[in-house]
Every structure is written in C-alpha cells, then in structure tokens.
Homo-oligomer: A and B are copies of this chain.
Amino acid sequence: MIEEAGPSRRELLTMIGKAGGAIAMYQAMTALGHAAETQFTGPPALSGARKGSKVLVLGAGLAGMLAAYELRKAGYAVQILEYQARPGGRNYSIRGGDKIVEVGGATQTCEFQPGNYLNPGPWRIPHHHRTLLHYCKAFGVELEPFIQMNHNAFVHQTKAFGGKPQRYKELATDFKGHVSELLSKSLNAGALDQQVTAEDKARLIDALRDWGLLDGDLKYASNVHVSSQRGYDRAPGGGVNGEPTPSKINSLSDLLDSKVWTQMGFYFNYVMQTTMFQPKGGMDMIGKAFAKQLAGLITYNAKVTKIAQGDAGVSVMWEDVKTGKVSEAKADYCVCTIPLPVLNQIDIQVGAPMKAAIKAVPYSGQVKIGLEMRSRFWEEKYSIYGGHSFTDQAIALISYPNFDFFKDKPAVLLGAFANGAGGYQLAGMTPEQRIEAALAQGSVFHPAEYRKEFMNGVSLAWSRQPWILGCCGSWTEASRAQHYQNLVAMDGRIVLAGEHASYYGCWMEGALLSSLDAIERLHKTALAA
C-alpha cells in the first residue's frame, strides 16, 4: 500500500489505524518518523498579551533569550537583565584575546590564533534537538557536521594493554567477535533451549556468524575476514605486493581490561548518536544570533540582588557591576533563568517548595581544556579526523577538531573534558597546572608530537566561574521525585527556566524546551489574571 502514490500521510495513518488499532497506529507513526523524536511541535503560537503587560527575564542565556523573543512576539514588553557582558551564558566560545577570571582570582588570557576557538560549554548538537535546530535555521546560524564517532580514534585504560592506547575498531570488533563466538557455542550446546526456539536458534547463529565474523567452526580468529573490520597488519594495496596480511585479535581477557563496551555504548546514547552538528565558527554563534534578534532589550553587567513579588507585580533589584549603581526593575511577571547555585544565594520571594527545590540540585563540575597545536599531526600521522580518544585518566578524553580538516595551520584540540573526580582534580589546579596535566595525560595518545607541537592552552573550570558556580544541574531520581515539579511550577508571578528545569539536563535543547513550557504557562496565567 505504501508504495502507491495516492494517500496522504493522514489518510495512510487513518487506514492503518482502522486496520490494526492504536498500537499499529503508533508503530506506523514511529516508522514514518513523526513520533518520539522531540517534544517540540514548532514555535509557540502565543498572542493577545494584555496591552502594557511586561515580563522581566533574568539571564540572557538561550532559555532567557528564547523567552524574551517569543513573549515579545506575543505582545509583551520585555526586558532582560544579564550579569555578564555578553549574551549566551554557557553557549560560549573562547578565542584569542579573551580573558577568563575564576573565583579565587586566577586569570587567563587565551592566545589562540585567529579562527581557532574552544567551546567550553555545549559543543555538539544531536540531530533530534529540533527546538535548537529550528531556531538556528530561523536565525541564520550555519551548522556543519560534528564528527562524533570515529572507529580509528583510541581507547586507553591505564591498566589495559600495558597502558598503550588501542584503536577503537580493533577492540570493538574483537568484543563483538568474542561475544558472538561464546553465544553461538552456548546455543549449540543447548544452554538456551528454554529461551530460544529451534528456528530462532538457527537464525541467531547465522546472525552471530555474520555479525561477529566467525569462521566455519564458529570461532572468532585472526584472519583476513576479521581484519576487514579490525584492520590489517599490512593493508591491501596495488600491484604485485597488494595482498594484505591479517592482524592478530586480542583475547577476551585483555578485552575485558579495555572496557571498550563503555565506548561502544556511548556511541549508542540517544543524545550521542550521529548525525551531530556544530555551528560554523564557534558555538557562541547561536547565542549571538539570538541576541541579534533582541537588540536593545538586554541590559548587560546587571547583577541581580533581590527578586520580590506582590499583587502589583515583580520587583527586581540589580547592581551595575561596572559602576556599582543599584536600580529596580519592575514587571508584571518574571522568567528567571539564573543558574541554581547563584539563585540559591539571591533573596527571592517564592514559596518554601520552590526554595527547597532551588537548594536541592547540585551542579556538576566539568572542566574543559583547549590546546592549540602547531599542526594537525593527528590527521597526517594517525589518520584521525574528528572524534574522540577516550582514557580513564582525569582528562577523560581528547577530541579532534571538526573543521579546517587537512589544513596546514595551528588547530585547537579539546585536551580534556573532565567530570566527576577528574573534574574536581583539574578544577583544583592552577590554570598552568591544568595545561601541564592535559599535556602529560594526552601524550599517551600521541607521545611523539603532543608536547612538541603544543603552542598554548586555555582551561575553563565551570565550578570556578563566578556567574554560574558549576556546569549544569545534577538531578537524581530521588531529587526529581521530590523537587522537580516544585522547581518548574509557577510561583505567583515568577517562573524558572533553563536546562535545570527540564529532563534534558546539560543540553541547550533542555533550556529551550523548558523556556517554551515556562512561557506558555506564564502566558496562560497572565491571560487568566
């Protein structure tokens, strides 16, 4: 039926719905690609704001700017107060000449060459983050592919393979080979006869033989067939000496040391699946594009000190961080996107449940380090173009740049993307110590070149950024159950928004979806008032 030209999608779904009931209908919708990708259903169609209504937005990150953009379209007067001197918040890129001042006073000035940058916050956009993609397109932000998966990058465990990094393709091929061999053997030994029918058993063994590259005896072994996935000792070539020679597989035991399934699973994460994108020229192109839409509405260098509300509206006290001058801003409603660790220190007039929620969410402490290298040696010498090499050291990974491939000029490697214990470790160091640690640890992947090609580096420890004091909200199942609805519920004239007020924590998409949800509720409240 679906090979005919006739029916529209709606007709088709109706036909399927009639034929097989709701489940078939849902399956068809999924198969046709219209379900489940996102909660985004297009920009909100808000309109009819009461004449003269005003909304005060706190924070010019993506959540705040989207709220301001859509509320203005709906007819509200809008003002944004932003603590920093720039828009975007964590949507941020560090370039040559940029200064980074940390809590504690440590100051760095980035020395990158023109055109190079570090995205210290968000750095990759999943293909299903449709809210973000929608506004990037609407605001003219050009996107280019972000190479997420790279079979030829490295996997490194300090205690595996004598500490020598291994290519992902070798370990991953070996893992599926050994798993296939073992499962085939069990199936043939009758161990799973209770679980698997005879027919499925035969089909599954065929599948495992094919997928795991097993030989005629259902063994995973060193041969040219296996090398056609894990790589050769000598690659195929041309002419008289063209014949390839196979590589040697790893034992199951060595593989288990490598923990390669961690990476194999990582690439399968919904938010980590290819295809991914990045803005051309740096992630902050997005924040800048949003800000361009809001010319004149954003007051920078505005430190919010008090948020109050009453029958008449909201009142926000703020200080100009350059002049020290204190002002009051008034509005009918307030969308507050201030990060929780900062909001937690501000006198805010909301009920106890929201106050408790604000306190309940600790922020993670990621550290990113950018290392500018004289040449793209990882491309020429290692055949690594984009993607990540993973390690169990504090830096967690190094990631290779996704633009200017093949070019003969300095490029910036992501030299660390630390979190958890590694993040604490690196955040506790001086900026100079962090660079040294990144060089020492990253050298494991490119020992001959890493220090030799190094020019300069810059680090961002999110827990030491005074305007946020952390990277993003860390919810647990327990804190979600107790506090999430209290955090997102409108409290009088105040509603919170940001990635912390979403189930997409740490993602720009979460900030945007939270913002849309918040302003839709705000608008309803305002109309009902």
* Beta-carbon contact of B210 and A265 below 8 Å: yes
How far does the alpha carbon of A444 sit from the alpha carbon of B28 in the complex, in Å?
A: 12
Contact with B along A28-63 (1 / 0, CB 8 A): 101111111111000000000000000000000000
Nearest CB in chain B to that of A229: its residue = B268
Interface contact B186-A191, CB-CB below 8 Å? yes
A99-107, A353-361, A381-389, A418-426: which one contacts chain B? A381-389
Residues of B within 8 A of A268 (CB): 151, 169, 172-173, 176, 229
CB-nearest residue of chain B relative to A252? Answer: B200
Interface residues contributed by chain A, number (CB under 8 Å)? 138
| A252-B514 contact in complex given A273-B152, A406-B137, A489-B240, C-beta closer than 8 Å | no
List of B residues within 8 angstroms of A262 by Cβ: 210-211
A31 touches B165 (CB 8 A): yes
Q: How far is the CB of A304 from chain B (nearest CB, A)?
A: 22
Take A238-B512, A513-B239 as given contacts and tell me if A447 and B32 are in contact as well, using a CB distance cutoff of 8 Å: yes
Q: How far is the CB of A306 from chain B (nearest CB, A)?
A: 25
Find chain B residues with CB under 8 A from A292 CB: none
A203 at interface by CB-CB < 8 Å: yes
Chain B residues with CB below 8 A from A381, complex form? 33-34
> A130-B383, A166-B31, A228-B269 in contact; A192/B196 too (CB < 8 A)?
no
Residue A516 is within 8 A (CB to CB) of chain B in the complex: yes
Closest Cβ of chain B to A284, distance in Å, is 19
Instruction: Flag if B2 contacts A444 (CB, 8 Å).
Output: yes
**A399 CB within 8 Å of chain B:** no
Judging by beta carbons under 8 Å apart, are A149 and B387 in contact?
no
> Which residues in B have their C-beta under 8 angstroms from that of A513?
237-239, 242
Cα distance, A405 to B231, chains bound together (Å): 32
Q: Which of A341-349, A463-471, A499-507 faces chain B?
A: A499-507
Residues of B within 8 A of A447 (CB): 2-3, 9, 12, 32
Q: A239-B502, A383-B130 are in contact. Are A256 and B204 (CB under 8 A)?
A: yes
Could you say how many copies of this chain the assembly holds? 2
Query: In the complex the two chains form, is B441's CB within 8 Å of A238's CB?
Result: no
Whole-angstrom distance between the Cβ of A143 and the nearest chain B Cβ: 6
Residues of B within 8 A of A510 (CB): 236, 238
Report the Cα distance A229→B265, complex, angstroms.
8
A497–B238 alpha-carbon span in the complex (Å)? 9
Q: Is A79 an interface residue (CB 8 A)?
A: no
> Measured between alpha carbons, how far is A37 from B186 in the docked complex, in Å?
36
A264 lies within 8 A of chain B by Cβ: yes
Q: Name A275's closest neighbour in chain B (CB-CB).
A: B385
Q: Which 10 A-B pairs have the closest CB atoms?
A: A239-B517, A238-B514, A238-B513, A39-B237, A191-B191, A9-B448, A236-B503, A238-B502, A186-B186, A151-B273
Known: A31-B166, A37-B231. 5 other contacts (CB 8 A): A133-B406, A145-B147, A183-B186, A238-B497, A238-B515
12 of the cross-chain contacts (CB-CB < 8 Å) are: A31-B161, A128-B152, A128-B383, A151-B268, A169-B268, A175-B211, A182-B192, A204-B252, A213-B265, A237-B513, A239-B517, A275-B384
A residues near B, CB below 8 A?
Answer: 2-5, 8-9, 12, 26-28, 30-39, 127-128, 130, 133, 136-137, 143-145, 147, 149-152, 161, 163-167, 169, 172-173, 175-176, 179-180, 182-183, 185-187, 189, 191-192, 195-197, 200, 203-204, 207-208, 210-211, 213, 227-244, 247, 252-253, 256, 259, 261-262, 264-265, 268-270, 273-275, 277, 381-387, 402, 405-406, 440-441, 443-444, 446-448, 451-452, 484-485, 488-489, 497, 501-504, 510-518, 521
